[in-house]
């Protein structure tokens, strides 16, 4: 089975992205998704990705997170 691929526009937003990513990881069909975090500010997307990786490890989700500006 192919892993779901998800692109999150505004992926560096601390206002709503962490909660949305948590909801995605807690959805069984999406727990192993390949998630791209697109933001104009690379550092913000990387910070959100780092937090999401810690959350994924804590809850046992296999999702991957790639920050990007492209």
**3-state DSSP assignment of residue 3:** coil
**Structure confidence at residue 68 as a pLDDT band (50, 70, 90):** very high
Contact 40, 33 (CB under 8 A): no
pLDDT tens, residue by residue, 3-44? 999 999 999 999 999 999 999 999 999 999 999 999 999 999
Contact 1, 30 (CB under 8 A): no
Task: Count the alpha carbons within 13 Å of 24 in the hemisphere toward its beta carbon.
Answer: 25
Distance CA 51, CA 55 (A): 6
DSSP annotation of 28: G
Distance CA 53, CA 25 (A): 10
């Amino acid at each position: 089975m192919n892993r779901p691929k998800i692109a999150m526009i505004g992926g560096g937003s601390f206002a709503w992205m962490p909660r949305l990513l948590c909801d995605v990881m807690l959805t069984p069909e999406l727990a192993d998704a390949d998630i791209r975090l697109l933001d104009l500010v690379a550092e913000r997307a990387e910070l959100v990705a780092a937090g999401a990786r810690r959350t994924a490890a804590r809850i046992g989700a296999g999702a991957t997170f790639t920050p990007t500006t492209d």
